[in-house]
Amino acid sequence: MKPSTIPFLIFLVGLLGLAGAMPAAASDDGFRPLPRDSVEQQTYQRSRSLALQLVRDAQPTLGFGHRRLADHVISELVGVRFLASSTAGSRRLCRDRRYSLFVRTARPDVIHVCDEVRPHARSADADAIARLAQAFVHEAVHLTGDLDECAAMDFELAVMRRTIGIRTQGSQISYGARCGRMGAR
């Protein structure tokens, strides 16, 4: 493993410890849309496109429950927007709750991006895009209304194993022992 990937793996552990169940009362204060032409926004869009393709490619090989979930995940990924942390308050929220990416049930069309992720998105390399795509598959399960981390991990790993392979061990590190399953369906 390259030394430069270690911080990214650490970020993904935090990422997949995410906030699918963040209280709905929280607002988007301190999170803003990025300029459409920014490298960072383009990386999120490319990662979303890859996540969509991975779920579509994996869908026919998934078990019945995951095939149905894939329909919902695809629907969520198509319309998701990305808001990036931009104030001291949003940075504090991310730091205090150890978030990298998160969703809020009150905003089922948004993935909130914390500062920890942003440098990786600015690099725009293929590895970062693939890792973000894997994380977006996980987050999209939460956007469907399923806040169960084990269900999100299970689906994410099933999709990745059936397509380009697992690009980060973040879910397994964060939830593997608790969930006791690794995308087998």
What class does CATH assign to 36-179?
alpha beta
Q: How many CA atoms lie within 13 A of 147 on its CB side?
A: 12
Q: Specify the 3-state DSSP secondary structure of 34.
A: coil
Whole-prediction pTM = 0.81
Q: What pLDDT, on a 0 to 100 scale, did the predictor assign at position 181?
A: 58
**Per-residue pLDDT tens digits of the chain, which is 185 residues long:** 454 444 443 344 444 444 444 433 345 689 999 999 999 999 999 999 999 999 999 999 999 999 999 999 999 999 999 999 999 999 999 999 888 899 998 888 999 999 988 998 998 899 999 999 999 999 999 999 999 989 999 999 999 999 998 887 766 666 777 887 555 44
Q: What pLDDT, on a 0 to 100 scale, did the predictor assign at position 174?
A: 67
> Cα-Cα-Cα-Cα dihedral of 40, 152, 110, 160, to 10°?
30
Q: What pLDDT, on a 0 to 100 scale, did the predictor assign at position 173?
A: 62
Task: Write down the domain spans for the chain.
Answer: 36-179
Q: Are 156 and 171 in contact (CB under 8 A)?
A: yes
Residues 132-153 have pLDDT tens digits of: 999 999 999 999 999 998 999 9
Q: What pLDDT, on a 0 to 100 scale, did the predictor assign at position 76?
A: 96
